[in-house]
Amino acid sequence: MTAPSIRNVSEREARQVAEAAREQDWRKPSFAKELFLGRFRLDLIHPHPTPAVDDVRRGEKFLATLRDFCESEIDGARIEREGKIPDETVHGLKELGAFGMKIDAKYGGLGLTQVYYNRALALVGTASPAIGALLSAHQSIGVPQPLKLFGTKEQKETFLPRCARTDISAFLLTEPDVGSDPARLATLAVPDGTDYLLDGVKLWTTNGVVADLLVVMARVPASEGNKGGITAFVVEADSPGITVENRNAFMGLRGLENGVTRFHQVRVPAANRIGPEGAGLKIALTTLNTGRLSLPAMCVGSGKWCLKIAREWSAAREQWGRPVAKHEAVGAKISFIAATTFALEAVVDLSSQMADENRNDIRIEAALAKLYGSEMGWLMADELVQIRGGRGYETADSLAARGERAVPAEQMLRDMRINRIFEGSTEIMHLLIAREAVDAHLSVAGDLIDPDKTLADKGRAAAKAGGFYARWLPKLVAGPGQLPRTYQEFGQLAGHLRYVERTSRKLARSTFYAMSRWQGRMETKQGFLGRIVDIGAELFAMSAACVRAEYLTETADHGREAQQLADVFCRQARIRVEELFGRLWTNTDELDRKVVDGVLDGSYTWLEEGMIDPSGDGPWIADATPGPSRTDNVRRPVR
């Protein structure tokens, strides 16, 4: 059966599909949601939540075992040279139980908490980012997590033991012409008796080249007895009709087993459907609520490595009579790396512990952690290359060949770059978080700006909105952040928390003013929304850093140093926040739009003269017409 073209999806329909997929209700409190509303709910994150003693014991025991394995069995340089993870390394990770870190012990897994799972990924990701991606894709978005949240008892008993010890899983959503706009999903799952027949092509299938089990998102046509819609399935990767047509190669993550997978009349039992028809996107987004934390966790590991290399190199390298670290231009970069690593670890650990306790809704916190971690992780890697100078641009093999320490700083930069795209690009994360941040406004006033609503609907919405804003707006005028002795238990950090409280109210006022000004056009103001989200991310990171520093002061030997790092980070963050506030209303957004129109209509093609385009021929987007494969299967299961 040929899949119908659904490329011409209207903007409105695309928004409706995305809106239907998001969680509609807030059943639990959310620190970040309250922050965007101008309510600084410090009680939701302080005192800092702590893991159970048994969880710590099991987690630390596994981390020690994993560290030994990483130091003795993982050759990151070899993976970089050969562009693949050796089979024996994968086998060793399986024997260790690393593929079952998040899987419950009753299914053969280790049953680690989110906190220790993330710390394990941070550790192994520094040994080899490609292995970090392998383990993360398998457990954070692959088969284990969707089944843990939405699978039936039979599905869990069938697939989770395999995922814990023997099988590798992958997640297949993206298509050659479908990225962050799932309304255009073309892969079909047509009901056929007690089965479904899958047809379509999936792109950028991380782990897809070596996977044994796949989570596949496909569109079920609506029909009598079938609700239809985007639906999730567990698919055996060796099923007849599945062809891995290409193993993709990238700027970084050379060992990533990422490919193009074609489905042609692939028979999948209805028993392998996860959840009901039409629930696929909701399952994917809910899975990512905690799954997104794995990426910033690996950014934390990268920051720690950047700090170590910056410290050692800057002490050894002398210029003009003293170590380069003593020169302010370099020292500022080292301070940024140290302070940001501390804050990012605070964000990830806090969010992870809240995920383990399951008492808060962390959908915004996890998204902020991903956004902030990927952006700051990239900046830290870039600063390390700058600190290393020419040696930062030189490969580790070249450094070793001429007798110097093989420091893979340039590889780190290449490997880190994908994080700003993985699991939702920075631009998409801005929009996703902004949508959640204004949810309270849309729930009370959304009908006022909806062109399809009747006058009666708008009248009811106006009355509802009037009551909400009459109660909410006065609370944005003053708060505890204006009292000089508030949060005194935080010592020298109290002033930063007062700043967060005041600034969260300012952020909420700015958002309300923008909604009043632009109303239905607010969603087109992506530059403004991105800055609003970035301010919220900084405030969340400041809060997490202060709470972590206070916690370490009470429980660890290096409380004074933690306070110092938190203080420096908050001072750096406050400068960034003030700049972002200035750019809310003073920017070139309107001029940029005019220039873009000119670029697209060809007004500036004269500017492109005088260069050679080294790109090859071929279409911008590969043909993904359903049908049998015409290429060899490059699937490479690890046995």
Sign of the dihedral through C-alpha 162, 163, 169, 173: positive
Sign of the dihedral through C-alpha 32, 36, 37, 42: positive
**What's the rounded Cα separation, in Å, for the pair 346 and 541?**
8
**What's the rounded Cα separation, in Å, for the pair 415 and 128?**
10
Report whether 416 contacts 299 (CB < 8 A): yes
Which one from 423, 436, 538, 550 is the annotated catalytic residue? 423
C-alpha distances out from residue 78 to 75, 130, 248, Å = 5, 12, 19
Q: How many CB atoms are located within 10 Å of the residue 223 CB?
A: 10
Q: How many CB atoms are located within 10 Å of the residue 431 CB?
A: 17
Token digits of residue 297: 């966790």
Residue 254: closest CA among 95, 396, 43, 451: 396
Q: Which residues contact 400 (CB under 8 A, 6 or more apart)?
A: 406
**What's the rounded Cα separation, in Å, for the pair 254 and 414?**
10
- Helix, strand, or coil here: 442? helix
**What's the rounded Cα separation, in Å, for the pair 390 and 406?**
13
Report whether 380 contacts 306 (CB < 8 A): yes
- Helix, strand, or coil here: 143? coil
Report whether 562 contacts 339 (CB < 8 A): no
Residue 412: closest CA among 127, 630, 638: 127
- Helix, strand, or coil here: 113? coil
Which own/partner contact pairs does 466-473 have at CB distance under 8 Å and 24+ positions apart?
468/440, 468/444, 469/444, 469/512, 472/37, 472/38, 473/512
| Residues paired with residue 223 on neighbouring β-strands, in sequence order | 226
Q: How many CB atoms are located within 10 Å of the residue 4 CB?
A: 10
423 is catalytic: yes
**DSSP letters along 534-601, please?**
HHHHHHHHHHHHHHHHHHHHHHSTTHHHHHHHHHHHHHHHHHHHHHHHHHHHSS-HHHHHHHHHHHHT
Residues catalogued as catalytic: 423
